[in-house]
Amino acid sequence: MTLEGFSTVTTMVWEHIEADGLAAPLPEAKAHWVAGELSQLASVEVYPHSIVATQGTVLFLGRQPRQKILGILATAKSPVGGFTGETRRVTVDGRELSLTMAPTTAANAAALRQALPFLVPQPLRLRKSVGFGDRLGLATPGHIRAVRNSAMAPILAQQSIRENARTGRTPQGVMDDAIWGVFQEGWRDGFGADADHLKTTADIDACAAAEYTFYTIDPGEHVNNSADTASSHELQEKIEDLPWEALDTNPADLVRRLTSKPVELDDFGLTLDREQVLPAAVKYGGAVAHTARLFRHLVQVMGDRPFELEVSVDETASPTTLAEHIYIANELKRLDVEWVSLAPRYVGEFEKGVDYIGDLGEFERSFAGHVAVARAFGPYKLSIHSGSDKFRIYPLVARMAGELVHLKTAGTSYLEALRAVALLNPSLFREIVAFAVQRYPSDRASYHVSAQVAKLPDVSLLPDDELPTLLDDFHGREVLHVTFGSVLNHPDLREPLFDTLRDGEETYCQLLEEHFNKHLDPFA
């Protein structure tokens, strides 16, 4: 194929293609112009921000109907390789290059990571951060557009094992979907990858193989919620049943260690007593032991690869008290567990996909104590789980925690996908709502929600242009939120849903950017 008068691309190619290392991003206007020329050359619609030059090669992502394809334009001397696709010779202003069009497979994603270091996830350490769950694998471009305007460091690959089971995805698939989104948007400022809510060593192994960098341990099944209401006699029995060998201590030493002197917290000291320490141990001792065991396994599996740990005890029956937080932090530290963030169970209600429910004054007082513990025993970040749409508390969290905060979101991106469907394909949206209403009574079992189907607006009475308002309704949001797995496993809903979002990609991206700007602006 010959393309004469291809001066803009030629200039870009021959200025950068022979340079050592990674070329700087193209200026915005030039990127769009070059994308147009590459689109003509490759017969695809090229994403402007994806164009990158390195080591004798220009790489870009193109769009075909309902699928994407990787383009590799290279000189004969290019050391970049490992891609599988269809290659042909092209002539650009009299110079010969090879053009390879490669499918967006896992193998090509791996080769792309080798060629472009900015596509490799990395630990974020104590940078203020936000996690973007993406249950469909389509949301990363919209997430990046929002985070470009924020002060938050992003985690762009994030999925729990439970969610993977419900969506039919794998840790590697989640990672690769995020990588293609990062490449599409040309994001070079670093990102993390969260293996979320891990409960077993097998969970860790699967995510470590996919090169995740952030591991969220969920020891919730080892939390003994009965400690809150146990009698003195029952408490003593439960104390004796704790895994003291794994905890490498005993009741007497534990009490002496945590009550012998005040715990210094910011500008005040807190003295614990036996009546606080032992119930805390009964409630969280098993969780501490389980977390330490999984952390040691993670250290072995990761070897010399850098990673960071989050500890999550947010899915418990009652809020984590200050004494309990101190117990958890003190014992994890004593057992040589290293963590970068911790998610207590905060006061109030953190229901899925809706705003914070509770007294803001009580939350502020309680959260201030948790911040003080995080500073005293770390510092480490406080993680806000079920953090989507908690607009009432964001200003308080941002002001009190400063950099020591990690906001974790997930299902809200799926809800924005449904908003896009409501705009683009109203009849499909009506089908999804009808099916979600049927599934909600059973699907809600593993979620903390209080929506009632009877209080949903009657969708049959809404004209098409008002259907998106269902995504602004408390009951509508929760019903649609927790039924995602059933919808994605329905043979008559899954493919039409994905087809609608792929065809309307820009609409979905714009909705995500607008929605997450509201999440991230308070943390600026």
Residue 462, phi-psi category: left (phi > 0), alpha (psi -120 to 50), beta (remainder): beta
Q: Are residues 110 and 136 in the same domain?
A: no
Question: Of 410, 443, 461, which one is at a domain's C-terminal end?
Answer: 410
- The CA distance from 119 to 490, in Å, is 33
pLDDT (0 to 100) of residue 152: 97
Tokens of 232: 């003195």
* Burial status of residue 23 (CB atoms within 10 A of its CB: 0-12, 13-18, 19 or more): middle
pLDDT (0 to 100) of residue 4: 42
Q: Are residues 280 and 266 in the same domain?
A: yes
SS3 label, residue 300: helix
- The single-letter code of the amino acid at 496 is P
Q: Are residues 90 and 183 in the same domain?
A: no
* Burial status of residue 89 (CB atoms within 10 A of its CB: 0-12, 13-18, 19 or more): exposed
pLDDT tens for 181-190 read: 999 999 999 9
Q: Are residues 380 and 441 in the same domain?
A: no
Task: Enumerate the active-site residues.
Answer: 196, 310
The segments of the chain whose pLDDT lies below 50 read: 1-6
- The CA distance from 370 to 365, in Å, is 9
* Burial status of residue 515 (CB atoms within 10 A of its CB: 0-12, 13-18, 19 or more): buried
Question: Of 114, 137, 169, which one is at a domain's C-terminal end?
Answer: 114
pLDDT (0 to 100) of residue 161: 92
- Tell me the DSSP string of 224-293: -GGGGT--HHHHHHHHHTS-HHHHT--HHHHHHHHHSSPEEETTEEE---HHHHHHHHHHHHHHHHHHHH
Domain range spanning residue 38? 2-114
DSSP code at position 446: G
Please tell me the total count of domains within the chain.
3
Question: Of 389, 410, 431, which one is at a domain's C-terminal end?
Answer: 410
Q: Are residues 350 and 453 in the same domain?
A: no
Distances (CA, A) of 323 to 219, 263, 360, 361, 397: 19, 10, 21, 20, 20
Q: Are residues 13 and 141 in the same domain?
A: no
Provide the Cα torsion 329, 333, 336, 341; round to 10°.
Answer: 50
Q: Are residues 449 and 428 in the same domain?
A: yes
Q: Are residues 342 and 426 in the same domain?
A: no
